Amino acid sequence: MRTLVGALALAAACAGGTAAAQQVPVEEVVLDNGMTLLLLPRPGDPNVAAGWVAKVGSVYERPGITGVAHLFEHMMFKGTAAIGTRNIEQDLQIIAQLDEVKAALRVEEAALLEAERLGRIEDAGDPAHRTERHQALMDRFEALLAQQGDLLIKEDFSRIYSGQGASGMNAGTSYDFTLYFVNVPANKLELWFWMESDRLLNPVFREFYAERDVVHEERRLRIDSTPIGRFQEQFEALFWQSSPYGWPVVGWPSDLEGITRGEALAFFDLYYAPNNLAAALVGDFDPAEAKALAERYFGRLPRGDRLPPQPRTREMPQVSEKRMLAYAETNPQVVVRYHSVPDGHVDEPALVVLGQLLNDRTGRLYRALVEEEGVATRASGGQSGFKFEGMFELRGTAAEGHAPEEVEQALYAEMERLKTEPVDPRELQKVKNQNAASTFRQLQGNFFLMYSLLMRDAYRGWETINSDPPLYEAVTADDIMRVANTYFEPENRAVAVYYRKASDEAPDPRLAGLDPEEQEQIRQMQAMIGQLNAEQIGQFIERFEQMSSQAPPENQDMVAVVLELLRERRAAAEGDGR
């Protein structure tokens, strides 16, 4: 085991406009198996923000298994040999039998897919086309699932944590990484080390095929059932010609239906090896105790046999503008994307600061498009630097009586100003001060700091939380003008123009008192609400009732409408037994 001590700079704005730095020590521990542990003790807080990151996301997949990284986020909560089952021997036997039946089913499914491809049948998923053998296999599969269901202890992983006072257990998958986290009481730190190491050392991916259906349902709720979800997905594929950032994190439907447990296990063995993981603790704990626990629990994980391969395919240079026109149940709007640079590129700080000049109600886009010209109700822009690629996006929603093309041209006009007119030094320094102050406030929270350390470690290393702020402070007006002229050219952009889809339905009178932006948010929520069951609706109602007392006065009308829609849906869901 080797240790390195670094410093975490928290930038703050001081009276003279320069960034002050509060040095907070971070200790890095690298175990013999290659796993990294980041320790940041903060005495006085009885809780510890604890998490770990697998340096793998959807861009590490390949066609045929898209969505597998996100699927593993779900599977990692299914338990281990010790957690989640009443009889591990019977459980494993049933899993083996399920794999055998599923292999036989794939033969039957392949025949139907071929018939569909040749036009002999319309839908390979229609039960009417199944052979007797196919149906018998389906019946056998369902019977095995029922047997397994009798053995399972549902939500056992979260039950153990919550029973010991932990909270906020969750995870998230992105293009570039998958992050798992929870807040644990300081006196339950050993529980965290055991729980997390056990699900890495002894995972049991039970309910694998059922969980694929859960992810499929999640995809339907987030993409298929939202007003512009499918259009956004199409725009992603249009923008990225060759890069793996072009497929959705949740995966393509055909891949979700076809991923085998064997393919998933091979993916896990490669990318969830300890030499591809990092963990972080922020809160009130003893670093010496944490290091000893890390050695005892994480140290038992075997190092991977080979280094995880990195994505090979890069985006091809774009040579002409791309455009997408769509009619959707949404306010008229426009999205303009330019290919830019990945995280850590020398031009990224200037692009980030340029985006901050455009954003918020005091930013250039809102002032010009909303307040001065009145062509938009909202407008924004900013840089997104991923690990291997990057993009800069501009967005604007058209005001009543104005076309999205007007918004588009107004966006371009503001970008042209940045190409030809140097940014005023006071405006530039104001943005830098706001950014530094915001960063300082955010990093006071244990959870945000833990999350930031792990996310940065998945990119270029956690130390960038200290080394990046001076790069943003050093951005000049010449840098802004240079990157504006480098990246914001017509042949380097893709444009999505949304028009409001004509509807025969009468407008909902409850939306009449809301502004266009709030109406748009309500419309997007309505489709999702319609897909939720009674239990899910109850959870949403509880959250919104809590929000109603905290929402600003100007948002109370919107919260009231959402609550009314949720209660209507709960009554309907209870009526149809969902």
Shared domain for 445 and 359, answered yes or no, is: yes
Residues 381 and 437 in one domain: yes
Considering the domain boundaries, does residue 60 fall inside one?
A: no
Within a domain: residue 354?
yes
Angle made by CA atoms 127, 131, 136, in degrees to the nearest 5: 85
Q: What is the CATH number of the domain that holds 357?
A: 3.30.830.10
The pLDDT profile of the chain, 578 residues, written as one tens digit per residue, is 544 433 333 333 333 333 444 556 789 999 999 999 999 999 888 899 999 999 999 999 999 999 999 999 999 999 999 999 999 999 999 999 999 999 999 999 999 999 999 999 999 989 999 999 999 999 999 999 999 999 999 999 999 999 999 999 999 999 999 999 999 999 999 999 999 999 999 999 999 988 888 888 888 888 888 889 999 999 999 999 999 999 999 999 999 988 989 999 999 999 999 999 999 999 999 999 999 999 999 999 999 998 899 999 999 999 999 999 999 988 999 999 999 999 999 999 999 999 999 998 889 999 999 999 999 999 999 999 999 999 999 999 999 999 999 999 999 999 999 999 999 999 999 999 998 888 888 778 899 999 999 999 999 999 999 899 999 999 999 999 999 999 999 999 999 999 998 765 556 677 666 766 677 667 666 666 766 667 667 767 776 676 666 666 667 777 777 777 778 777 776 665 55
Q: Are residues 442 and 495 in the same domain?
A: yes
Residue 77 lies in a domain: no
Q: Tokens 């794939």 belong to which residue?
A: 106
Q: Do residues 481 and 517 share a domain?
A: no
> In this structure, is residue 397 part of a structural domain?
yes
How many domains does the chain divide into? 2
The two tokens of residue 120 are 């002999």
Q: Which residues pair with 279 in a beta bridge?
A: 37, 52
Cα separation, 274 vs 322, in Å, equals 42
Question: Which domain does 347 fall in, by range?
Answer: 322-500
Q: How far apart are CA 95 and CA 340, in angstroms?
A: 46
Choosing from 466, 500, 534, the residue where a domain stops is 500
Residues 471 and 492 reside in one and the same domain: yes
Residues 478 and 535 grouped into a single domain: no
Does 390 reside within a domain? yes
Q: Would residue 106 count as lying in a domain?
A: no
| Residue 178 domain flag | no
The domain boundary residue, chosen from 466, 482, 500: 500
349 and 430: one domain? yes
CA distance 380 to 409: 14
Q: Let me know whether 548 and 423 are in one domain.
A: no
End of a domain among 500, 534, 550?
A: 500
Q: Please check whether residue 562 is in contact with residue 544, taking contact to mean a CB–CB distance below 8 angstroms.
A: yes
pTM of the complete model: 0.85
Q: Is the domain of 481 the same as that of 554?
A: no
